[in-house]
Amino acid sequence: MATYHSGERAVQERAGLGDQARFSLGGIHNAVPEVAAAFLATQPMIVIGAPDAEGRLWATQLVGQPGFLSAPEPDRLVVETLPQPGDPLADAIADANPRRPLRVGAIAIEPATRRRMRLNGRAVTHGGRIEIDLDQVIANCPKYIQKRQPVHRADTPPPQDRRVTDSTALSQGQQDTIRAADTFFVATASDSGDADASHRGGNPGFVDVLSPTTLRWPDYIGNAMFLTLGNLAVNSRAGLVFPGWDTGTALHLTGTARTVWDPGALASFPGAQRLVEFSIDAVREITNASPLRWSEPAFSRFNPPPR
């Protein structure tokens, strides 16, 4: 049976949603239903969260032609691609093997229909593909997902034109990218190392850049599971990726995060139930990280108004 760990239970109780969270346990499974397997087979993208060799958490985006994701068995996800050189998780995923599997969180998301599902488990790499033995399969609601259609462009730059830039703080251009963002993905892990990847969305400006090394964003009403905040309650490490929907650039951040419960701090974030403050340890920006391009967004009707 699915259970919550101590951090998740603590956040649920502090939020006053313990009863709702216990009801939501029914949405956590350890196998992929047939309809979900069909959904995965049509996706061109998945986001993976995992630790690197130093234990830092990162989130990254893997893409492929529809069919590159499959569930040949209900408790196994296969990803028919590996991260490209320069990706912050390339080495950790390449080194995953049966003796030392890599605990990963994944989220498959279809912006065009606002559908998403999370798949967490233990990954190994075999000949150019990732095989994940699943521990958790979770269907999530469509709130805060901006509707986008994939656009196939013939003039997408080749992979050899990819450029990797590392730093320990955000440049002005990277700060502007985050201020304009309507979506990012966050990787967290429990105190025992079980990883999770989740989606965060809102109107542009919902992520506040407090400084070149500090971000803050609102936590809106959700499914009451608090898988992300529960992990942060027992393990502060986190990784973010901001996808460049129209450029293919990926902005990766790793650092630590904490939940802010102070009612006074919520006043400037419409719709916020809590805030999350993220301290940056490292930044990696990769141009041409993805060959996918996406249409302009149709913003979710659930998004609170801009700040």
- Stretch 130-157: mean pLDDT: 88
User: Binning pLDDT at 50, 70 and 90, where does residue 27 land?
Assistant: confident
Q: Mind listing the pLDDT tens digit for each residue in 155-185?
A: 666 667 789 999 999 999 999 999 999 999 9
**pLDDT on residue 112:** 94
**pLDDT on residue 159:** 66
Q: Mind listing the pLDDT tens digit for each residue in 44-79?
A: 999 999 999 999 999 999 999 999 999 999 999 999
- Stretch 136-163: mean pLDDT: 84
Is a pLDDT exceeding 90 seen at residue 25? no
How many residues are there in the chain? 307
User: Binning pLDDT at 50, 70 and 90, where does residue 307 land?
Assistant: confident
Q: Mind listing the pLDDT tens digit for each residue in 150-159?
A: 987 666 666 6
User: Binning pLDDT at 50, 70 and 90, where does residue 209 land?
Assistant: very high
**Contact indicator for 208, 215 with CB cutoff of 8 Å:** yes
Find the angle CA(49)-CA(54)-CA(60) to the nearest 5 degrees: 25
What is the CATH code for 6-294? 2.30.110.10
- Stretch 219-223: mean pLDDT: 93
Is a pLDDT exceeding 60 seen at residue 1? no
User: Binning pLDDT at 50, 70 and 90, where does residue 37 land?
Assistant: very high
